[in-house]
Structure 1
Amino acid sequence: MIGIYDIEVYNNKIHYYLTVKRNLTLVRGDSASGKTELVRLVGEYEANGSSSGITLKCDKRCTVLTNVDWEMRLVSLSQTIIFIDETASFLRTKSFAEHVKGSDNYFVIITRDDLDMLPYSVEEIYGLKNVSDSSKYKSYKKVYNEMYKLYNLSDINEIVNPDQVITEDTNAGHECYVEIYGDMCSAAGGKTKVYECIRTSDKKSILAIIDGAAFGSDIGKVMGYLAVSGKKCVLYAPESFEYLLLKANIIDVPQAILDETYNYADSQKFFSWEEYYTDYLVQNTKNTPFRYGKTRLNESYKSHRIIEKIKSVMPDQIISVEERSE
């Protein structure tokens, strides 16, 4: 399934509107914020149609998946936007993650918990809030809408000279960031280890570079810690390292690939957009000097000209004064 879809659900008391554009969208909120009511309305409309007093507008079928025969139902669904409430016991299972991978459906999951087995984006975590105190209508607000802001500093535009740069992985991306930041760059060894590296760091200023397209299950823990720890840390969350390489125009890339990825990253083939960008880069650099492999960075990417192109698409505030003056 590909594409971006608006979903509008309402009755005479409450009104919901949301947009989905990836295989996984998470909706969070406290008790009484209306999360469960959203799922109830979708399910009741599917069961009873317009006679339910509910209106649902979407270009794709919307349904609710519950504990009852969930595997059998999920296998039978195609090109559908599937809503799941946090009461579903299968949400945190390996079996559910395996069913999501390779599915040509989109999933809207209502949960306050982190789902470690699913690679969802930091950009697709939403919260519910009232538009105004006098209105019962609901709207969606991104919980994490700025993923590379500087915490504990009043001005996020201030230039940061990190004492330590933590990269999510140890592979090609880390090699590139070493070219930019030198010996201050260290690898966490996976997204689940970023939090611990930040927590145990004794450095005054930290830059953590993460793959935003699949870091959703860990971002809450990291952000929560930074909010109370007093540490100076900037989180930089491009979709992925491969996305940066494509954005840097090292090879010719149609702008739509980057701006409208939802029209290209088929959920049945790609578990996350990170996988899509990697596949696109690999396929389009075969038999070229920039042949890409995720495990080890091709030396062609380490040339001064290419490193400068990569730096040019990174935010100014995470490039050190020394490097900016080169």
Structure 2
Amino acid sequence: MITEDSHSGYQFFAEVASDKGITCASAGGKSNMAAAILASPEPVLVVADGAAFGPEMERITELMRLRDDIYLYLPESFEWLILQSGLIAKEKLADVLAAPYDYIDSEKYFSWEQFFTTVLQDSTKGTLYQYAKNKLNPVYLHETNKMKILAVMRPLTNRLGW
């Protein structure tokens, strides 16, 4: 498994991969993803923030034409996954997740990832689930919470036998 993220998202997926006996590495950013894939002689699951990954798709698609063992999972962002999991209860959150384009101010947010990070941080401030981008709160690694986040990925996790 290779993540684009090197902070909270990576910490989460490294834990999940470890549970499954899989190696997880961070590419250290989306522009490093192609090199990280090329460096792996084994099948690769790429987990990256779909909200910001567009510029890299041409290179990754080319690699996928050369190798049939590259799998992509591109959620909007890791923060979006947490928000989708049902762990966070906040009024109107379902509305925001259903139609984010109605809530995202492009003058304020450079990307959807920034928007979902802000929503998650604001929604969890001062709670057990308080979220920080740089260091994952261990509460997200508790088995029940981890499974709720992975449930958002159900089609992929079923395919991988998780």
Q: Same fold judged by TM-score > 0.5?
A: yes
**Pairwise CA RMSD:** 1.3
- CA deviation vs aligned residue, 1:57-110 (integer Å, no higher than 9, x gap): xxxxxxxxxxxxxxxxxxxxxxxxxxxxxxxxxxxxxxxxxxxxxxxxxxxxxx
Give TM-score scaled by structure 1 length: 0.46
Give the structure with the higher percent strand: 1
1:124-161 CA distance string (max 9 Å, x none) = xxxxxxxxxxxxxxxxxxxxxxxxxxxxxxxxxxxxxx
Shift of 1:252: 1.4
- Aligned-pair identity (%): 35
| Largest Rg, 1 or 2 | 1
Stretches of structure 2 lacking an aligned partner (at least 5 in a row): none
Cα distance in 2 between the residues matched to 1:317 and 1:245: 16
Report the 3-state secondary structure (helix = DSSP H, G, I; strand = E; otherwise coil) of the residue aligned with 1:265.
Answer: coil
Per the TM alignment, residue 316 of structure 1 is displaced from its structure 2 partner at its CA by 2.7
Asked if structure 2 preserves the Cα contact closer than 8 Å seen for 1:179 and 1:307, the reply is no
Matched, 1:235 2:72: yes
The one-letter amino acid paired with 1:218 is E
1:2-13 map, 5 Å: none
Report deviation, 1:231.
Answer: 3.6
**Partner amino acid, structure 2, of 1:242:** E
Q: Distance in 2 between matches of 1:285 and 1:317?
A: 27
Q: Which residue of 1 aligns with 2:46?
A: 208
Indicate conservation of the 8 Å contact 1:166/1:185, yes or no.
yes
Query: CA–CA distance in 2 between the matches of 1:264 and 1:210?
Result: 23
The question of 1:218 aligning with 2:59 is answered no
- Is the contact between residue 207 and residue 318 of structure 1 (CA under 8 Å) also seen in structure 2? no
In the superposition, the TM-score normalised over structure 2's length comes to 0.91
Matched, 1:274 2:113: yes
In structure 1, the gaps of 5 or more residues are: 1-164
Report which structure shows greater RCO (CA 8 Å, sep ≥6).
2
Q: 2:128 pairs with 289, 296, 314, which one? A: 289
Give the secondary-structure state (helix, strand or coil) at the position aligned to 1:235. strand
Bigger fraction of residues in helix: 2
Q: C-alpha offsets along residues 26-83 of structure 1, whole Å, 9 cap, x if unaligned?
A: xxxxxxxxxxxxxxxxxxxxxxxxxxxxxxxxxxxxxxxxxxxxxxxxxxxxxxxxxx
